[in-house]
Amino acid sequence: MTNIFRGAFILWVMLRNGLDELALNSFKKPWLLRLTRILTLGRKLDAPRGQRIRQTLESLGPIFVKFGQVLSTRRDLLPVDIADELALLQDRVPPFSSEVAIGIIERAFKKSVDDIFVSFERQPVASASIAQVHFAVLKDRQGLAREVAVKVLRPGMLSVINKDLALLRMMAGWVESLSDDGKRLKPREVVAEFDKYLHDELDLVREASSAAQLRRNMADLDLVLIPEMYWDYCMPEVIVMERMKGAPINQVERLRAAGVDIPKLARDGVTIFFTQVFRDGFFHADMHPGNIQVSLEPATFGRYISLDFGIVGTLTEGDKEYLAQNFIAFFRRDYKRVAELHIESGWVPAATRVDELEAAVRAVCEPYFDRPLKELSLGMILMRLFQTSRRFHVEIQPQLVLLQKTLLNIEGLGRQLDPDLDLWHTAKPFLEKWMLEQIGPKKLMKELRNEAPRYAKMLPELPRLLFDFLQQSHAKTNVHELQALLAEQKRTNSLLQAIVYGGVGFVLGLIVMQVLVRVRVF
């Protein structure tokens, strides 16, 4: 019943904001619009369509807001007015009361705000679906004042998210049971992945630890800045971090006026993404413009600034290697290898014909090569690949859903920064270098370093282990010899029995012959 009520509420909000007209205007059935108008009272149709869509998503909660954030980066797929409105969902969701935020902070640290901070800005600088951020000046233990950003979890999020996830699970069950593609699409597993990431986002200590990991991983790249976490002030509902100063990445004209090399910025973004994915297997998975800035400080001028680490993605070594091989095969236009990789990985049935799958992949990808980003849409490529996947029964991989979402974010950012960016040629050298490192001497030395502690522990035990092995081998040899002797004895006994029986038979035969001869004589 809870799911039914939630579904009815979602439908009512959409109808109230007039989204039915946007969806049904293309249908030549005016009675559908008349019906929806009758069902809904107090419709709000005076605002522009983009604003109505944004307000609908804001009213429906964090899951819908995140959906809008992803769409906001796809200006190749959306009209400009809708994309501009959805961009406000990146960090301009209506904030909750600053008094509530202060209450959460004081309960978390069991101190008043004035005892923790030299100053605290009550007006939030950014507000998103899960949390909002306030600037402050922290009282340091050494007596120093540090400029910080304080992130406070939006209250009541758990119950809202759980209701929406329950509805998504129900809908996933319908898709799986009613759709021909249900089992192949694995909707339940996809929702389970989404469930895990959303609940992780509600624990700000987990977010802080993800930020610390990314900060370590990216330290040697000199392309991106990640704020330091102040662990004495990190709790599940509140975290305090280093304040970062930069310009939002979607303010391209401001960045260009400041002297930032925009094409280089676009290339650096691709490098950062592929480094996190293929080198580290640990990547920022919420890279919409609200979470990305560019430093204009002299010491770090032109570097990326990453914020909001509530959603991060991880890949296994197997996933990384498989994906890298696929990307390289794509970049080399080796469609046969792409088909072979899909079959080897079990993503398509083993009986699939390589030549047929190769031809289908070629038909999807070949038209897009050697084109700048402004003429390229990964969204359209993925859509065509999805159509191809239905034909060849490709199984959806839930663990890669976040990666696909992030790749679309990256393309959207790259399109805004430098429409002439050649995504293929920018990524290809990085992936080829990475693959060489996976199979070359560097990889061998890395594995040896990683295994060195275990080898050091085993080395002193090696003589004893060798002695035990030889003893066991000797014992096994003795057993084998005994078994051979017993078998030989059995064969000898059988032979002796045959000789005895044969001899007795021969003697009896002679006796019988002699008796017969004597009978004839008499």
Per-residue HEC secondary structure of 155-170 comes to: CCHHHHHHHHHHHHHH
Distance (Å, rounded) from C-alpha 454 to C-alpha 167? 49
| Tokens 């490192």 found at | 437
Residue 440 gets the label, from left (phi > 0), alpha (psi -120 to 50) or beta, of: beta
- Which amino acid belongs to residue 459? L
Nearest residue to 172 via CA among 314, 3, 312: 3
**What does DSSP assign to residue 418?**
-
Contact 166/2 with Cβ under 8 angstroms?
yes
Chain center to CA of 218: 18
**Residues with Cβ within 8 Å of residue 288, at least 6 apart in sequence:** 69, 70, 72, 73, 90, 409, 412
Distance (Å, rounded) from C-alpha 150 to C-alpha 106? 12
Q: Please report the sign of the dihedral spanned by the C-alpha atoms of residue 444, residue 450, residue 454, residue 459.
A: positive
- Which amino acid belongs to residue 11? L
Nearest residue to 402 via CA among 210, 127, 237: 210
Q: Phi and psi at residue 27, in whole multiples of 5°? A: -90, 140
Asked if 286 is an active-site residue, the reply is yes
Can you point out the beta strands (E) in 203-332? 224-225, 229-234, 238-242, 246-248, 282-284, 292-295, 304-306, 312-314
Distance (Å, rounded) from C-alpha 59 to C-alpha 241? 29
Catalytic residue among 91, 268, 286, 308: 286
pLDDT score, position 223: 93
Distance (Å, rounded) from C-alpha 282 to C-alpha 83? 29
Chain center to CA of 68: 19
Q: What ranges in 25-156 are assigned the alpha helix state H?
A: 30-39, 49-60, 62-72, 80-87, 98-109, 113-116
pLDDT score, position 212: 96
Q: Please list, residue by residue across 479-491, b when 16 or more beta carbons sit within 10 angstroms of its beta carbon and e when fewer do.
A: eeeeeeeeeeeee
pLDDT score, position 2: 62
Nearest residue to 315 via CA among 293, 353, 283, 286: 283
Q: Which residue ranges in the chain fall short of pLDDT 50?
A: 24, 26-29, 31, 496, 499-501, 503-504, 506-508, 510-522
Per-residue HEC secondary structure of 54-78 comes to: HHHHHHHCHHHHHHHHHHHCCCCCC
- Which amino acid belongs to residue 307? L
pLDDT score, position 135: 96
Distance (Å, rounded) from C-alpha 385 to C-alpha 391? 10
The vertex-299 CA angle with 296 and 303, nearest 5°, equals: 50
Distance (Å, rounded) from C-alpha 136 to C-alpha 147? 6
| Tokens 């944004």 found at | 54
Residue 214 is encoded by which pair of tokens? 């990314």
User: pTM of the predicted model, to two decimals?
Assistant: 0.68
Q: Please list, residue by residue across 265-286, b when 16 or more beta carbons sit within 10 angstroms of its beta carbon and e when fewer do.
A: bbbbbbbbbbbbbbbbebbbbb
The vertex-407 CA angle with 403 and 411, nearest 5°, equals: 175
The vertex-463 CA angle with 462 and 464, nearest 5°, equals: 90
